[in-house]
Structure 1
Amino acid sequence: MVLLQFGIVVLRYVFGISFIFLNEGVLYLHSTLFMLGAGYTYLVNAHVRVDIFYARLSDRGKAKIDLFGHVLFLFPAMIVLLYWSWPTVRTSWAILEGPISVGGIPASFLLKSLIPGFCILILIQGLSALIRDLLRIKEAKS
């Protein structure tokens, strides 16, 4: 992605040439990196967290907060996003939707498919975290 962006800059500012499909290539790569990398980010606990009280809690308290967050926020949000994005993705695949811009990459359907992929990966990782938190709560009791 960095090399592609570098090539775009060189082409534009040194040679005065611009290709829309190259610019969209950066968009596709950037989207793929973030949408499919989100599950891994969640796995290694590198996601954004608001640590107002969380940092001072015990392991059991942290597990309870995380459990609450998974059940009340994460799962409902991902299910709603999956539910509402699916018809758009299905339609996009049915017509093999073309480029975003004239002269762009003729595969918008692939880009839109990242949304349900993101939701599914986050749901799987959320389920894993939920099980981990339940075990942390159980271990802290005994």
Structure 2
Amino acid sequence: MQSLLTLSRAIDRINEFFGRNVAWLVLAAVLISAGNATIRKMFDMSSNAWLEVQWYLFGAVFMLAAGYTLRKNEHVRIDVLAGNLSKKTRDWIDLVGHFIFLLPFCIMMTYLAWPFFWRSFLSGEMSSNAGGLIIWPAKASVLLGFILLTTQAVSEIIKRIAIIRGLIEDEPGSRHDLPPQVEAGLEMKGDRDA
């Protein structure tokens, strides 16, 4: 299990790197958007290429940060329901959900994204808009995003198994950890129900 935890930490570091660095693409998208809007209003000029760069950057941020978001446990979930469950139950739900739903979905999307990207790359596919850009970089971000999300799903499965087995503690501040007073209230409720 130790070698799997080492693999998990390596995956976490890779997604941490991507998540922190693609955040700069948001700034680039904002600056390009502001510059494009200013030029359009002041000089009555516009460029499809600049508009497409904006959505390329937005798409890259969305796709390349998905694994990082999973690592930080910030994906949307129904905390109202999870808050009424014990930590062990939440860990089991995450493990089963990641293994049965998330991992197969990510593997399937990675499998489907490869030819989607590769055909575009080989053909030099261009945007149908006048003055548009090549398409394959945007399709490459879809492929890379799903590869990163798939590896992070593997990492999360490894960590959940280790946590359930008592080999590691959950990361402090993660959404798996409820505040101590809520956790204590759940334990007291469980004692009364028994």
Give TM-score, length-normalised by structure 1.
0.90
Contact 1:35 1:114 in 2 (8 A): yes
Contact 1:59 1:136 in 2 (8 A): no
Change beyond 3 A, Cα 1:37–1:100:
farther
> How far off is 1:100 after superposition?
4.5
Rg (Cα) greater in structure? 2
Whole-angstrom CA distance in 2 between matches of 1:25 and 1:11 = 16
Runs of 4 or more off by more than 4 Å in structure 1?
A: none
Give the corresponding residue for 2:43.
15
Out of 86, 95, 98, the position equivalent to 2:126 is 98
Give the corresponding residue for 2:139.
112
Give the corresponding residue for 1:70.
98
SS at match of 1:139: coil
Contact 1:75 1:126 in 2 (8 A): yes
Whole-angstrom CA distance in 2 between matches of 1:59 and 1:139 = 13
Out of 61, 82, 99, the position equivalent to 1:33 is 61
Counterpart check, 1:2 vs 2:38: no
Q: Which runs of 5+ in 2 are unaligned?
A: 1-28, 168-194
The sequence identity of aligned pairs, in percent, is 33
> How far off is 1:7 after superposition?
0.7
> How far off is 1:18 after superposition?
0.8
Counterpart check, 1:80 vs 2:108: yes
Counterpart check, 1:48 vs 2:76: yes
Whole-angstrom CA distance in 1 between matches of 2:59 and 2:111 = 20
Count residues with an aligned counterpart: 139
Between stretches 108-117 and 79-88, larger displacement belongs to: 79-88
Contact 2:60 2:142 in 1 (8 A): no
Give TM-score, length-normalised by structure 2.
0.67
